[in-house]
Amino acid sequence: PCRAQPKKKKKVDVKKEQAQKERMKKRLKKLEKAAPELIPIEDFITPLKYSESNRVRSLPALSPEESERRVLLLKKWCLFKQKQDEAEKKAIKAVVESQQEALKELHLESEELYEAAIRRDEGLFPFERDGPTHTPPLPGYDPPEGKCIDITKVYTQ
């Protein structure tokens, strides 16, 4: 519908909208300037109750035979662990060497297969595996009904 005097609101509206947009852009620029922060990890912050207490543990005095037994046991354990570690390193070396030999033989056999074997396997990742459990799962176990609520603290910048 035409009017005798046109509305004056239009220009003012446009100006207001422009001013609003500029304000929003300024706010955006300010927020974008601030660098994103990493979420603080609760594992690395010791709770205060462990640093405030003055409790001191008093250990009983060890007899010389006991301390010698412990030292000898420690030495035996060190030797055992060293043998275990060396066996592991040897096994790794043996595996790598046998792999290299197999690749050499394959290379002599056919070029195409060698090339295909050297390429990376796309189906390898993602790889997921649960750790071994202490006991195998019980056959007829009926777990009680319940639910899990996630109560992790959400940090916002």
Partner 1 sequence: DALLGCHRSYRSRPTHGIGKFKYLLPNEAPKKRKEKVQMKEISAGTEYQYGDVNIQMTSYDLCLVEHFAQYVHRLCNRLSIRVNESYAMPTKTNEVLFLEERGSKMQLDAVLTTHQRVVQVRGLSSTFAPILLEIIQSNQPEGVHLLVKQHTEDDFKSRLKSRPELEELLAQMS
Binding footprint of partner 1 on the chain (CB under 8 A): 24-25, 27-28, 31-32, 35-44, 88, 92, 95-96, 99, 103, 118-121, 124-134, 144-157
Q: How far is the CB of 147 from partner 1 (least distance, A)?
A: 6
Q: What is the CA radius of gyration of the chain?
A: 35
Q: Considering the complex, state which of residue 54 and residue 133 has its C-beta at the smaller distance from partner 1.
A: 133
Structure tokens at 19: 């001013």
Q: How far is the CB of 15 from partner 1 (least distance, A)?
A: 19
Distance separating alpha carbons of residues 89 and 81, to the nearest angstrom: 12
Q: How far is the CB of 117 from partner 1 (least distance, A)?
A: 8
Q: Considering the complex, state which of residue 4 and residue 124 has its C-beta at the smaller distance from partner 1.
A: 124
Contact criterion met (CB below 8 Å) for 124 and 4: no
Q: Count of CB atoms within 10 A of residue 13's CB?
A: 11
* Residue 31 amino acid letter: L
Q: How far is the CB of 135 from partner 1 (least distance, A)?
A: 10
Distance separating alpha carbons of residues 83 and 90, to the nearest angstrom: 10
Q: Count of CB atoms within 10 A of residue 117's CB?
A: 13
Q: How far is the CB of 82 from partner 1 (least distance, A)?
A: 15
Contact criterion met (CB below 8 Å) for 103 and 114: yes
Q: Considering the complex, state which of residue 139 and residue 146 has its C-beta at the smaller distance from partner 1.
A: 146
* Residue 110 amino acid letter: S
Q: Considering the complex, state which of residue 69 and residue 104 has its C-beta at the smaller distance from partner 1.
A: 104
Q: Considering the complex, state which of residue 72 and residue 92 has its C-beta at the smaller distance from partner 1.
A: 92
